Amino acid sequence: MPRAAKEKPAAAKKEKKVKDPNAPKKPLGAYMWFCKDMRESVKKENPGMSVTEIGKRLGELWKEVSEEDKKKYLKQAEEDKERYNKESAAYNKEKSKEKEKAAEEEDNSEEDE
């Protein structure tokens, strides 16, 4: 029997949620700010390293960073979170206005019929 005939049908895949390009970008955590800051220097020190190895090295470096030095990145993360919250509130407010307007137009079109 052919191999394909024995295989079970694939489970229905969930449709990928379409992301609004106008939506605010999610905030970065302290570790991600650290990685962003250190990635280039790690690459320069180790030019032959793969992306995976660089990630592992960054993780090792993060563990070695003192709490005092981490405060810089924690502050950046907090500021980024505040930025996100402001942008998100403005975005959601705008989105709700659009929904209200669409609902209003739909009500008006139903009344015309």
The CATH number that applies at residue 55 is: 1.10.30.10
Tokens of 39: 């990635």
Give yes or no for residue 52 having a pLDDT over 60.
yes
Cα separations in angstroms, 71 against 65, 78, 79: 10, 10, 12
Structure confidence at residue 77 (pLDDT): 98
Tell me the residue range of the domain where 95 lies: 25-105
CA 90 to CA 23: how far, in whole Å? 10
Structure confidence at residue 22 (pLDDT): 87
At position 84, the amino acid (one-letter code) is: Y
Angle between helices 51-64 and 30-45 (to 10 degrees): 120
Query: Residue 29: in which H helix or E strand, if any?
Result: none
Query: For the chain, what is the domain count?
Result: 1
Q: Does residue 36 belong to any structural domain of this protein?
A: yes
Q: Does residue 3 belong to any structural domain of this protein?
A: no
Between 95 and 88, the more confident residue is 88
**Residue 26 pLDDT level (bands cut at 50, 70, 90):** very high
Does the pTM surpass 0.85? The reply is no
